[in-house]
A and B are shown apart, each in its own frame.
Chain A
């Protein structure tokens, strides 16, 4: 009984799937799916190497500081960094006093309540505070940015495939819309107020090119602030904001794996030793 019932159920599912396949195949042949403009013109992130690549890579503190400077002077005007606190910057090589000064001089103030009147007010951030948001809320953010809300950057490099290379490619990837794109897809002209960028998922990005000129940020360590360099530095900084424990993780991993290799080697020898009499003969 079980087998007859199973046979009928199997026949139904398998049969209907094959019929569905035939429907799909006929549709596929008679009306092949048209390539979309994203499929044709979207590009994978550029190849770019960072000091933290590979299993033993580490952050370059100088580069993180430069990237932080780019974030501070350019990105932070529109983008929040809500999961990072000023105190976290000590990991970049700043000392306590420097972190305190960075927080105090931050252009955006931390919302607070006046302790006397209870009215909403603001104050200078302290190291314990997270980076204050540039806009009071999403409505204000959208209103100031042509209806697009600038995303929080804390986790950006983990929220995109190949995140570090993606950030670098996006910032350096603005270009005029290719003529062949408009020839193939006449309806896909970049709308007014958006910017063509082949590294962005739907090719048209609300953010205007943020880094446009060499020297837009003046580095203190003598590195030449080319657009390429600034983009790389800020991509490195955002990799750190997304994964601040990367170096701890890799260090702990090495120790764990060395320990496990030794322990497993011993376990293997114990296993062979215990089984020695059984493996030789009956």
Chain B
């Protein structure tokens, strides 16, 4: 693991030496997120979001465990116990608002983390496993967030649960039995609420486990960097601690400031007012919408309005929505350009920004009512989403002529800082795409 020049853990204090012989946990931490992990020296602020996602998970677990102490997972009392937490529990309002907004901020930093990976080609060889495990975490997060949103048992909780489990009902023949099995009844009820609570408590710890695998897999090849050029020697890296712990400390501060502004001054901005109305199976809300972080996928689901021969439009929508996430698992093999970083891929860069705008449009349409013109807009946007990953990216990889890559990370850093006299001394300028076993 890691590079040969990585610093070695040498405990000096006898207690630490004793510990290292019995259980080398400090050694593990030292090599994972300490001075023993050499990291490219040129990472930009986009590389902060992995640590921030970890911080967001910790916030969710701490606030969530405390809230669970005051929550009653029963459809008769769930809504009232959440209100009691808000009113009568010491700092209960803080825990609840931190948890509700924390979920949104978790998704914000994870989306930025994915954005970083997509732009800088972090999913490519030799980091495919890091990407695949990241997607597993993303899927687990979505499941956890969905079930967590059901727990307050408000109107959107109830009807959201009904719509999302109803997606399984679209599967032919076995769909309705599956939906009934998932809910523990024919409609969301006490049985559904109880199992969602149980799983909502369990899954964050599963996420924590997969994060360990994600970091483990990352440490085999080491971190990617903005040039996408692999580390060539000790001059290209700095030890994670103190260099990146310091940078992440600053990043965490900025994150917490923005989080606090939302949490303390606009805690309900990202929520839906209908969820302050207790669940009522007899009254359907005018517009059922999930939380904002699901909007792009919700737009894809609703974009299918025409049956494909014997396949109903609803089933197509469900398949497309799952496909829109599952296709990301194939990304390392779809985009087989040997150049990682978007900075050196002029054609890729243009289409990448179109994709970003496209996903924002999908998000906007997913939050809007299912009316025209939003459905038509989401149809075009969803068509581009699929075309981008499944058609455009493989074609770009085939026909694009990448820009010349810097010879090494150090060389790109020196060019950026414009240090005279040293440029000529460095060999390996010009086009030198790194070898790749992708494809």
Contacts and interface: CB of A to CB of B under 8 A. Distances in A.
Chains A and B bind each other: yes
Interface of A: 2-3, 6-7, 9-11, 13-21, 23-25, 28, 33, 55, 83, 88, 151, 154-155, 158-161, 163, 201, 242, 244-245, 248-250, 252-254, 256-257, 260-261, 263-264, 267-268, 270-271, 274-275, 278-279, 281-282
B94 interface: yes
A96 B242 CA distance: 57
Interface string B365-376: 000000111011
Contacts of B94: 249, 252
B379 A24 contact: yes
Contacts of A33: 371-372
Contact of A19 (B306, B394, B414, B422): B306
B50 interface: no
A42 to B, nearest CB: 11
Interface in B373-401: 373, 375-376, 379-380, 382-384, 386-387, 389-391, 394
Interface in B62-110: 80, 83-84, 86-87, 93-94, 97
A274 B379 contact: no
A2 B246 contact: no
Contacts of A249: 93-94, 97, 264, 267
Contact of A18 (B93, B243, B261, B380): B380
B57 to A, nearest CB: 20
A58 to B, nearest CB: 14
Interface of B: 41, 80, 83-84, 86-87, 93-94, 97, 235, 238, 242-243, 246-247, 249-250, 252-254, 256-257, 260-261, 263-265, 267-268, 273-274, 276-277, 286, 303-306, 308, 313, 316, 320, 323, 327, 330, 333-334, 336, 371-373, 375-376, 379-380, 382-384, 386-387, 389-391, 394, 410, 413-414, 417, 419, 422
Given A159-B276, A267-B249, A6 B330 contact: yes
13 contacts: A6-B394, A9-B323, A16-B308, A23-B306, A28-B373, A83-B83, A154-B83, A158-B276, A163-B273, A260-B257, A264-B254, A270-B250, A282-B413
Contact of B380 (A21, A270, A274): A21
B391 A274 contact: no
Nearest to B426: A282
A3 B394 contact: yes
A14 B260 contact: no
Contact of B264 (A17, A25, A257): A257
A83 B375 contact: no
Report which residue of A2, A10, A15, A270 has the largest number of chain B beta carbons within 10 angstroms of its beta carbon. Answer: A10
B387 to A, nearest CB: 4
Given A3-B334, A14-B386, A282-B419, A270 B264 contact: no
A151 to B, nearest CB: 8
Q: What is the predominant secondary structure among interface residues of chain B facing chain A?
A: helix
B250 A201 contact: no
Given A10-B389, A245-B87, A270-B249, A2 B334 contact: yes
Contact of B273 (A23, A159, A278): A159
A201 B286 contact: yes
Contacts of A18: 379-380, 383
Contacts of A161: 273
B386 A10 contact: yes
A185 to B, nearest CB: 18
A260 B260 contact: yes
A161 B260 CA distance: 22
Contact of B93 (A20, A23, A201, A248): A248
Contact of A260 (B242, B253, B276, B410): B253
B383 A17 contact: yes
B46 to A, nearest CB: 16
Given A17-B383, A260-B256, 14 more contacts: A9-B327, A19-B306, A20-B313, A24-B379, A33-B371, A249-B97, A252-B94, A253-B260, A257-B261, A263-B253, A264-B254, A268-B250, A274-B243, A282-B414
A9 B390 contact: yes
A24 B238 contact: no
Nearest to B264: A253
Contact of B257 (A160, A252, A257, A275): A257
A155 B87 CA distance: 12
- 9 tightest A-B CB contacts, nearest first: A253-B264, A10-B390, A264-B253, A17-B383, A159-B276, A21-B379, A13-B386, A14-B383, A6-B390
A244 B87 CA distance: 7
B333 A271 contact: no
A55 B242 contact: no
B257 A10 contact: no
A159 B275 CA distance: 7
A104 to B, nearest CB: 22
Contact of B376 (A24, A55, A244): A24
Contacts of B277: 151, 155, 159
Contacts of A278: 41, 238, 243
Contacts of A260: 253, 256-257, 260
A158 B154 CA distance: 12
A2 B372 CA distance: 36
A83 B77 CA distance: 12
B330 A16 contact: no
Contact of B422 (A242, A250, A270, A282): A282
A62 to B, nearest CB: 23
B74 to A, nearest CB: 17
Contacts of A24: 305, 372, 375-376, 379
B263 to A, nearest CB: 7
A17 B372 contact: no
Contacts of A15: 383
B246 to A, nearest CB: 4
Contacts of B375: 24
A278 B387 CA distance: 43
Of B264, B327, B394, the most chain A CB neighbours within 10 A belong to: B264
Contacts of B379: 17-18, 20-21, 24
Contact of B246 (A21, A245, A275): A275
